[in-house]
Amino acid sequence: QSVLTQPPSVSGAPGQRISISCTGSSSNIGTGYGVHWYQQFPGTAPKLLIYGNNNRPSGVPDRFSGSMSGTSASLAIAGLQAEDEADYYCQSYDSSLSGSLFGGGTKLTVL
């Protein structure tokens, strides 16, 4: 079981705003280690979406945003589009594990 907990699935209609939570603990997000988010389409490699809690790499639309508070982080997608349907993973460092870890992933369905 992942130390970073994500909802297995979320859904929303086109144009809506959704958020995906990533709940950690005092040994990872709560210690201030950055949270990063990845997007993965079926059969393809993951792609970096957000790094360092709330930074977008070049080419990622500003509809995607990240935030962090306490021991949790969130990925928000505004103006939902059909092509956003994918799996999303959060990631951080855990000091008790002395390594990186991923959340279990969230499947986004665009209705």
Point out which residues bind other proteins (CB under 8 A): 2, 31-34, 36, 38, 40, 44-48, 51-53, 55, 57, 87, 89, 91-93, 97-105
Q: How far is the CB of 65 from other proteins (least distance, A)?
A: 16
Closer CB to other proteins, residue 18 or residue 39? 39
Please identify, using beta-carbon distances, which residue of 28 and 80 lies nearer to other proteins. 28
Q: What angle do CA 64, 76, 89 make, to 5 degrees?
A: 85
Q: Closest distance between other proteins and the C-beta of residue 33, in Å?
A: 4
Closest CB to other proteins among residues 75, 105:
105
Distance CA 50, CA 72 (A): 15
In whole angstroms, the minimum distance from the beta carbon of 81 to other proteins comes to 22
Q: Which is nearer to other proteins, 82 or 99 (CB)?
A: 99
> CA 64 to CA 96: how far, in whole Å?
30
- For residues 85, 70, 31, 74, the Cα torsion angle rounded to the nearest 10 degrees is 10
Say if CB 92 and CB 68 are below 8 A apart: no
Residues in the chain: 111
Closest separation between CB of residue 41 and other proteins, Å?
A: 12
The tokens for 15 are 């144009």
